[in-house]
Chains A and B, each alone.
Chain A
């Protein structure tokens, strides 16, 4: 485990997020911080409200109450595209890729927020627009190489294996040069070997100075790479701490292994 960056201000502040769907209290007054340069994981049994929490953070779902601050920017109330423009990028549990586009084009989409050519310069193919395209390709190629996708640039994403499609999603998010990455179940659908590979990649991403928040089922992945863990159950935060603290926490053990009252 890498050392925690010794910066005192949290990069992401989540305060009292709350969401109900009809009678179901999916997320119940959840608060926590994510420190810059760390990997933080949100775990919990199925239906604990992890994905709902994630969607609220990324602007895909408005919370009933509560606030999310990224640096000193209020993310709550923003559209997803505005959240992305702040350097706060996410991936999806069920991959969301443009399956009819090539790998390269999918990844270049991640460069969108770093470029500015609009409809007119695009239609007229102005020099500025072409230079920007070239710079975009130059920027994303190392990312593709790093994820072993560089020999698949021209293949339509729909023709790739699931593991490779996951890699394309990660590459796309990295192409945006995000300060913070939200990974929604990044290991789901991956085999053991691929998951190990992913763990290394996430640690490398973190060592580049990016902050990572992930939701994950795979306990071994979470315990191996996270600096801190938040545990959700029935929408409530029941524990927060380092992996070793979480492993000793009685409430967590009761939820996962079954206890007297379970």
Chain B
């Protein structure tokens, strides 16, 4: 259970931050914190793919967009004039339709977001699978280019497809009622609730990924990062493992895209842009590559600053510069184990205690 204590600390921090915003009267910050949480989810999934399994993906925004656009398209279909169709009757008999009044007092009937969540996950996972099988045979720059190509294709598709709103994207996406009283929407009254939904999702995601890292599969993934031949020669079906982890990363991005779209009430093509994919890669790189907690912290900090407009017009440029600098000077990332160890050593020395790291260091050179 010791493994889960960081998750409890995370949950505690989430609560403390909410209380702080309440006390200081800055509850408006919760909006950006909620959105950051969804971006953190994408980064965590990518961290698994890129940091642990060593497979770079520059198409993560594409999967985010698949999740977002799937639900935006499906839940904005109005069935109110189509009550005679077979599709309506089937959906209605299964209780999968939601009826409500819009601003003008007209009745709108739309599909339950639970259906579109399922669809988003299936489409993203299927796309990742059929993309991953051929593309994950590639390595290094070639894999980066191929996944970036996928990202560009998704971007151009959403930009050029009339029923996906072209450059305007899709708006008026209904709220997602998880159960009565708890819904994902941009409504001011549910701001606190949404903040908790988003971070609960992050905690669940972290729980799943941390478990995975520490499992048999996680070890195989980390090994194939180190040496694919080694993993192969020990009986790991490396091709299948790479595709599976790629699918997991895609599902995390799609789920984040789904929730973000219901939270914002819409989605636009910029979410699918290559600049967004670069941003996710930069976050994982700064976070220390094979470091889920690093991705979480940097994902939160950088996205929060970006959403607050701290970077101004240079938003995308800032992430580009971060990526270049990280690759040049700190390829192992800003938040990495050794930083914590160095910090610990310094603190222990200040406390006049013999740091344990030195003892172990003697053993290494035998």
Which A residues form the contact surface with B (CB < 8 A)?
Answer: 58, 60, 79-81, 84-85, 89-90, 92, 96-101, 105-106, 108-113, 115, 117-119, 121-125, 129, 132-133, 136, 151-152, 155, 159-161, 164, 172-173, 176
Contacts and interface: CB of A to CB of B under 8 A. Distances in A.
7 contacts: A81-B232, A81-B237, A96-B227, A97-B230, A100-B226, A100-B290, A123-B209
A92 B226 CA distance: 15
A116 to B, nearest CB: 8
B212 A81 contact: no
Contacts of A79: 232, 237
Interface stretch (B97-105, B141-149, B216-224): B216-224
A125 B229 contact: no
Given A98-B230, A109-B223, A122-B215, 12 more contacts: A84-B234, A97-B226, A109-B219, A110-B234, A112-B235, A117-B215, A122-B217, A123-B212, A133-B215, A133-B216, A159-B364, A164-B366
B189 interface: no
A151 B235 contact: no
Interface in B185-225: 208-209, 211-212, 214-220, 222-223, 225
A164 B365 CA distance: 11
A195 to B, nearest CB: 18
A150 to B, nearest CB: 12
A162 to B, nearest CB: 12
Contacts of A133: 215-216
Interface string B126-159: 0000000000000000000000000000000000
A109 B221 CA distance: 10
A129 B208 CA distance: 14
Contacts of B238: 81
Contact of A124 (B211, B219, B225, B237): B211
B216 A105 contact: no
Contacts of B226: 97-101
A172 B236 CA distance: 13
B231 interface: yes
A176 B236 CA distance: 12
B218 A122 contact: yes
B244 interface: yes
* Size range of the chain B interface in the assembly: 20 to 34
A192 B154 CA distance: 60
Q: Which of B226, B227, B364 has the most CB of A within 10 A?
A: B226
Interface centre among A106, A109, A111 (most CB of B within 10 A): A109
B233 interface: yes
A7 B179 CA distance: 69
Instruction: Name the 6 nearest CB pairs between A and B, nearest first.
Output: A98-B226, A122-B215, A84-B235, A113-B235, A96-B230, A125-B211
Contacts of B208: 123-124
Contacts of B230: 92, 96-98, 109
Contacts of B212: 119, 122-123
Nearest to A156: B364
B248 interface: yes
B106 interface: no
A112 B216 contact: yes
Contacts of A89: 233-234
Contacts of B234: 81, 84, 89, 109-110, 112-113, 172-173, 176
Interface in B275-316: 290
B363 interface: yes
B222 A80 contact: no
A122 B281 CA distance: 25
